[in-house]
């Protein structure tokens, strides 16, 4: 799917193929390192952020061969600086969250400039708000706005995309995804989750507004299935339904891709080894949701974990994830799996960077507007991630 850089041509005279906004944060720094090591020779890319000194530190960490890497100053509160980046880039990567607080100005700038955009948000309200506000503009200008290009939600979205290639979709398809990891939440993810949980009412209202505006695929049934805690006889794990953005992304891909069949349903869980941990999680998660509604408690919890912080390289090297998919259709059952290393940082940076490179340099389906990774890049991104060491397999 990927082309050599010399074969791609360039659709315009923009200065940069890829600009990374938020390069001075923890995940931003890992993404910069990945681009430095894996961007194709001749790729024109740059780092962007509000603090010139910190940008210079990130550039210095990339080695002498990147000593002349362009640095662009921009701030999420300065619309003109963001518009300038969008006008100069083919693809913009954003690692600046919580996105609900800081993300929209850059999405707007990219939509208006016809610039492709990727981020690693897992915030459902933000994604729905961006659809309502900027999808039509992006569809008109040709911009592809692709949210959730990290652990939320690429393993789940492309895992189901991979799975659909292994099954007969002529009958109703039911998929359950079961995620497991020994990793920890990033500071940015924790802040985004607490912000989202504090806005449950607004999140629900925005979701309903988007569903009315978006409509449903004609002649097809596509839906998320609310799961229940219990024992998975196929996998041997205790299941706990996960209230993340991942099922929404998977279902939107299913709505966009007729290859998923005429009747598709997806349910999403955490897989736990013991009943004790399952019951404990059933207490902790609702407890955090309650604390998020009380501003002093929310601030106290968020003050303990700061965005931009992350574990050491040695700790990340010991971290892993798996997402198992059990698919039932036409009386048959298929088990597939996506697996890799540290999901919250190392693999997220890899997925985010490869998504941007895929949009910049690969043959992709003709799409525009707010689209999912499976709909926007599909097979090309799957090929990239497999080559980068993330495993997609039939079990």
The pTM score is 0.90
Instruction: Give the CA distances from residue 148 to residues 66, 74, 76, 119, in Å, rounded to whole numbers and listed in that order.
Output: 28, 22, 19, 6
Which of 340, 355, 376 terminates a domain? The answer is 340
Residue 394 domain flag: no
58 and 175 belong to one structural domain: no
Residue 95 domain flag: yes
Measured between alpha carbons, how far is 93 from 106 in angstroms, rounded to an integer?
10
pLDDT of residue 281: 45
pLDDT of residue 1: 40
44 and 184 belong to one structural domain: no
Instruction: Give the CA distances from residue 375 to residues 15, 148, 154, 197, 275, in Å, rounded to whole numbers and listed in that order.
Output: 27, 13, 12, 28, 37
Residue 212 domain flag: yes
Residues 6+ apart with CB under 8 A from 369: 135, 136, 138, 139, 143, 144, 145
Structure token pair of residue 25: 């944060």
Instruction: Give the CA distances from residue 234 to residues 29, 218, 391, in Å, rounded to whole numbers and listed in that order.
Output: 40, 34, 20
Measured between alpha carbons, how far is 24 from 13 in angstroms, rounded to an integer?
27
135 and 198 belong to one structural domain: no
pLDDT of residue 5: 44
CA 233, 239, 241, 244 torsion: positive or negative? negative
Burial 108-123 (b: 16+ CB within 10 A, else e): bbbbbbbbbbbbbbbb
Q: Within 13 Å and on the Cβ side, how many CA atoms surround 235?
A: 28
Q: What is the DSSP string of 351-371?
A: HHHHHHHHHHHB------EE-
Residue 120 domain flag: yes
Measured between alpha carbons, how far is 33 from 27 in angstroms, rounded to an integer?
10
Whether the link from the prior residue into 98 is cis, omega within 30° of 0, is yes
236 and 352 belong to one structural domain: no
The residue segments making up the domain with residue 93 are: 5-150+346-389
pLDDT of residue 191: 59
pLDDT of residue 197: 67
36 and 49 belong to one structural domain: yes
Count up the domains in the chain and report the number.
2
Residue 395 domain flag: no
229 and 295 belong to one structural domain: yes
136 and 205 belong to one structural domain: no
Where residue 250 falls (left for φ over 0; alpha for ψ -120 to 50; beta otherwise) is: alpha
115 and 257 belong to one structural domain: no
221 and 173 belong to one structural domain: yes
327 and 191 belong to one structural domain: yes
66 and 206 belong to one structural domain: no
Residue 238 domain flag: yes
pLDDT per residue rounded down to tens, the chain (395 residues): 444 343 434 456 899 999 999 999 999 999 999 999 999 999 999 999 999 999 999 999 999 999 999 999 999 999 999 999 999 999 999 999 889 999 999 999 999 999 999 999 999 999 999 999 999 999 999 999 999 999 999 999 999 999 999 998 999 999 999 999 887 655 555 655 666 667 778 888 999 999 999 998 999 999 999 988 899 999 999 998 888 899 999 999 999 999 999 999 999 998 987 544 444 444 445 555 545 565 665 566 556 666 556 767 777 778 899 999 999 999 999 999 999 999 988 999 999 999 999 999 999 999 999 999 999 999 999 999 999 999 999 99
Residue 306 domain flag: yes
243 and 351 belong to one structural domain: no
Only one residue has tokens 């010399």, namely 6
Residue 80, domain CATH: 3.40.50.720
How buried is residue 284: exposed, middle or buried, by Cβ count under 10 Å (0-12/13-18/19+)?
exposed
């Amino acid at each position: 799917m990927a082309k050599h850089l010399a074969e791609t041509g360039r659709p315009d005279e923009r200065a940069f193929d890829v600009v990374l906004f938020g390069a001075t944060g923890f995940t931003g720094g890992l993404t910069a390192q990945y681009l430095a090591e894996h961007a194709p020779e001749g790729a024109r890319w740059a780092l962007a952020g509000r603090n010139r000194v910190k940008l210079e530190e990130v550039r210095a960490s990339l080695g002498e061969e990147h000593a002349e890497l362009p640095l662009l100053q921009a701030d999420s509160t300065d619309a003109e600086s963001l518009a300038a980046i969008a006008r100069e880039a083919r693809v913009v990567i954003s690692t600046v969250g919580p996105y609900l607080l800081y993300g929209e100005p850059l999405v707007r700038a990219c939509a208006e400039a016809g610039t492709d955009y990727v981020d690693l948000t897992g915030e459902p309200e933000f994604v729905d708000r961006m659809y309502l506000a900027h999808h039509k503009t992006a569809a008109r200008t040709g911009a592809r706005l692709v949210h959730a290009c990290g652990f939320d939600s690429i393993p789940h979205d492309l895992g189901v995309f991979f799975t659909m290639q292994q099954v007969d979709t002529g009958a109703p398809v039911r998929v359950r995804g079961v995620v497991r990891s020994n990793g920890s939440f990033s500071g940015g993810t924790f802040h985004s989750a607490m912000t989202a949980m504090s806005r449950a009412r607004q999140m629900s209202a925005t979701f309903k507004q988007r569903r009315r505006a978006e409509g449903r695929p004609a002649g097809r049934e596509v839906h998320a299935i609310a799961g229940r805690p219990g024992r998975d006889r196929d996998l041997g794990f205790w299941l706990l339904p996960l209230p993340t953005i991942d099922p929404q992304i998977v279902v939107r891909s299913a709505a966009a891709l007729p290859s998923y069949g005429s009747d598709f349903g997806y349910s999403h869980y955490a897989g736990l080894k013991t009943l004790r941990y399952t019951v404990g999680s059933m207490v902790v998660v609702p407890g955090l949701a309650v604390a998020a509604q009380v501003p002093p408690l929310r601030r106290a919890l968020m003050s303990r974990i700061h965005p931009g912080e992350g574990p050491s390289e040695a700790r990340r090297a010991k971290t892993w994830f798996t997402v198992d998919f059990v698919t039932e259709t036409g009386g048959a059952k298929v088990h597939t799996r996506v697996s890799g290393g540290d999901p919250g940082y190392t693999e997220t940076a890899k997925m985010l960077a490869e998504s941007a490179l895929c949009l910049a340099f690969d043959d992709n389906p003709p799409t525009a507007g707010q689209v999912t990774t499976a709909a926007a890049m599909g097979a090309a991104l799957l090929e990239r991630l497999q080559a980068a060491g993330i495993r997609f397999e039939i079990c």
